[in-house]
Amino acid sequence: MAMRTKLSLAIFFFFLLALFSNLAFGKCKETEVEEEDPELVTCKHQCQQPQQYTEGDKRVCLQRCDRYHRMKQEREKQIQEETREKKEEESREREEEQQEQHEEQDENPYIFEEDKDFETRVETEGGRIRVLKKFTEKSKLLQGIENFRLAILEARAHTFVSPRHFDSEVVFFNIKGRAVLGLVSESETEKITLEPGDMIHIPAGTPLYIVNRDENDKLFLAMLHIPVSVSTPGKFEEFFGPGGRDPESVLSAFSWNVLQAALQTPKGKLEKLFDQQNEGSIFAISREQVRALAPTKKSSWWPFGGESKPQFNIFSKRPTISNGYGRLTEVGPDDDEKSWLQRLNLMLTFTNITQRSMSTIHYNSHATKIALVIDGRGHLQISCPHMSSRSSHSKHDKSSPSYHRISSDLKPGMVFVVPPGHPFVTIASNKENLLMICFEVNARDNKKFTFAGRHTHINP
């Protein structure tokens, strides 16, 4: 028993020894290799040729070998260093690039700037028509509302927007100024005056002209287009009268005698009027022409007499919520008399937030909100789970489900989108009320959920 223990102990020590010697040997070998560069060995070996060199020559030769070796080592080190630096720089560049791409994605997918995200379709002396870029061009997250396009018409005082029709359902909203819409049918032209806050649905294909009947002020009209062509979602076209893509259809609707009657102008003068369209589709007209294109007294007391038109004023409609902090007015698919809202599955809302106040944090169950700021300034915040939380504010809680805060200052002309389920809040500035008009898409069965009590729609 004792014998065996001794033996195994001996074996143990033997292995230990072997291990140490091996380590020591290995280390030694390593330094040897470093010292004995084969080139150096050859160099030194050549110096030792006795028949060629004297002792002095040999020394000089050996020194030269050493010097050469040192230079070679330094050069190698330098090259190593350079490649390392290059690699570091490359990876740094790559990182920056990735960061940039990320930031591009992170850029607010739901917020549209007036100058960046609109394209001008028409621009003349008389005014311009700007169309918001396709929602899917901004972000894939907006695929569901691809088929909705928002356009803004701006027309100077006393101008005429030449007859046209659209291959889209259009909801007109009169933001500012005083307009006349002329809806042209074969037998007569129906003239409708629009005041700020007025909303009207124009069925696809209806030929119409627009007049800014105000002598001094610009007219601002928002148009929500819902293209009807199933083959080209999100695309709509204007079909002009003379000089346009489809002159025949519009002109036949605008038979000359109708136009003559509507404009109370002889045919020759009319032709001249429409010839002006070659200079653009929005142009100045005289006071007499404005008067001729506007409704006569008799038809201006509509909507109380006769036909009911799908028109209403959202500014003067009774608000759903109203208190010191602001007002919310809604017209939705369940409002019986607005059958077109039912058909288009749309709700229209108007929010007027008192300065220094804010809306409660709330979200829509089904509807996607397309909001247009029409007056005042303020701020918006949306919580979005679709975006990674790379925002500097939320770096500390990477492990929990990440809700990215999308925020933006708001000013007139800006558009923002809030998808269903996304809680958001709007805040008015200290100096101005914040006024917004919203088109809520897919409004049927929609419910609004708030995170605060019912009576605190708007809070300081």
Ligand X SMILES: *[C@@H]1O[C@H](CO)[C@@H](O)[C@H](O)[C@H]1NC(C)=O
| 145 interacts with Cu ion by CB under 5 A | no
Q: Residue 44, exposed/middle/buried by CB under 10 A (0-12, 13-18, 19+)?
A: middle
- Count of residues near ligand X by CB under 6 A: 5
Residue 236 binds which of Cu ion, ligand X, none (CB < 5-8 A, kind-dependent): none
Residue 386 binds which of ligand X, Cu ion, none (CB < 5-8 A, kind-dependent): Cu ion
Q: Residue 333, exposed/middle/buried by CB under 10 A (0-12, 13-18, 19+)?
A: buried
Residue 296: both structure tokens together: 């006569």
Residue 415 binds which of Cu ion, ligand X, none (CB < 5-8 A, kind-dependent): none
Distance in Å, CB of 419 to Cu ion, minimum: 6
Q: Do 183 and 208 form a contact (C-beta atoms < 8 A)?
A: yes
Choose, by CB under 5 A, the member of 384, 417, 428, 434 that binds Cu ion.
Answer: 384
Give the C-alpha separation, 34 to 265, whole Å: 104
- Residue 301, beta-bridge partner list: none
Q: Do 154 and 197 form a contact (C-beta atoms < 8 A)?
A: no
Tell me the window of 22-30, 44-52, 179-187, 385-393 that interacts with Cu ion (CB under 5 A): 385-393
Give the C-alpha separation, 69 to 63, whole Å: 10
Residue 433 binds which of ligand X, Cu ion, none (CB < 5-8 A, kind-dependent): ligand X
Residues 6+ apart with CB under 8 A from 72: 37, 39
DSSP string, 39-108: HHHHHHHHHT-TTT--HHHHHHHHHHHHHHHHHHHHHHHHHHHHHHHHHHHHHHHHHHHHHHHHHHHHS-
Distance in Å, CB of 415 to Cu ion, minimum: 16
**Given the complex with ligand X, which of 392 and 430 has the nearer CB atom?**
430
Distance in Å, CB of 249 to ligand X, minimum: 38
- Count of residues near Cu ion by CB under 5 A: 2
* Near ligand X in 344-363, by CB under 6 A: 352, 354
- Residue 415, beta-bridge partner list: 112, 372
Tell me the window of 186-194, 300-308, 349-357, 380-388 that interacts with Cu ion (CB under 5 A): 380-388
Q: What is the amino acid identity at position 246?
A: D
Choose, by CB under 6 A, the member of 315, 363, 403, 439 that binds ligand X.
Answer: 315
Nearest CA to 195 out of 169, 173, 163 is that of: 173
Distance in Å, CB of 411 to ligand X, minimum: 17
Positive or negative, the CA dihedral 434, 440, 444, 448 is: negative
* Cα-based angle 90, 93, 96 (whole degrees, multiple of 5): 150
Tell me the window of 86-94, 202-210, 378-386, 449-457 that interacts with Cu ion (CB under 5 A): 378-386
Q: Do 434 and 377 form a contact (C-beta atoms < 8 A)?
A: yes
**Given the complex with ligand X, which of 162 and 354 has the nearer CB atom?**
354
Which letter does DSSP use for residue 306 in this model? S
- Residue 222, beta-bridge partner list: 152, 173
**Given the complex with Cu ion, which of 386 and 448 has the nearer CB atom?**
386
Site string for ligand X, 268-307 (x = CB under 6 A): ----------------------------------------
Choose, by CB under 5 A, the member of 69, 317, 379, 386 that binds Cu ion.
Answer: 386
**Given the complex with ligand X, which of 168 and 433 has the nearer CB atom?**
433
Q: Where do runs of H (alpha helix) occur along 116-172?
A: 135-138
Tell me the window of 131-139, 239-247, 381-389, 443-451 that interacts with Cu ion (CB under 5 A): 381-389
Helix or strand (DSSP H, E) at 332: none
Distance in Å, CB of 217 to ligand X, minimum: 16
Choose, by CB under 6 A, the member of 159, 281, 351, 433 that binds ligand X.
Answer: 433
Residue 315 binds which of ligand X, Cu ion, none (CB < 5-8 A, kind-dependent): ligand X
Q: Do 329 and 433 form a contact (C-beta atoms < 8 A)?
A: no
Residue 382 binds which of Cu ion, ligand X, none (CB < 5-8 A, kind-dependent): none
Write out the residues near Cu ion by the rule CB under 5 A: 384, 386
Write out the residues near ligand X by the rule CB under 6 A: 315, 352, 354, 433, 435
